[in-house]
Amino acid sequence: MEVLYLLIPMSAVLVLLILGVFGWAVHRGQFEDLEREGQRILEAEGEGVDGSQRVADQIGKNSP
């Protein structure tokens, strides 16, 4: 029974932490434009995540 005095506050802190991370992700725009992201993976010629990947792809295509 004494373990409940530890588990209940720990679970409440965990729930608050999860809600905080979710709120942070929503505030930072992580869930914006989900339709475009779902279609992007189906495109044949998608652009890289950043510019360095596109440069690395071009170097790989041009090398013998």
pLDDT at 64 over 60: no
pLDDT one-digit tens code per residue, 10-56: 999 999 999 999 999 999 988 888 788 778 778 766 555 666 665 55
pLDDT at 5 over 70: yes
DSSP 48: P
**From CA 26, how far away is CA 32, in angstroms rounded?**
8
pLDDT at 57 over 70: no
DSSP 46: P
Q: Is 15 helix (H, G, I), strand (E, B) or coil?
A: helix
pLDDT at residue number 17: 98
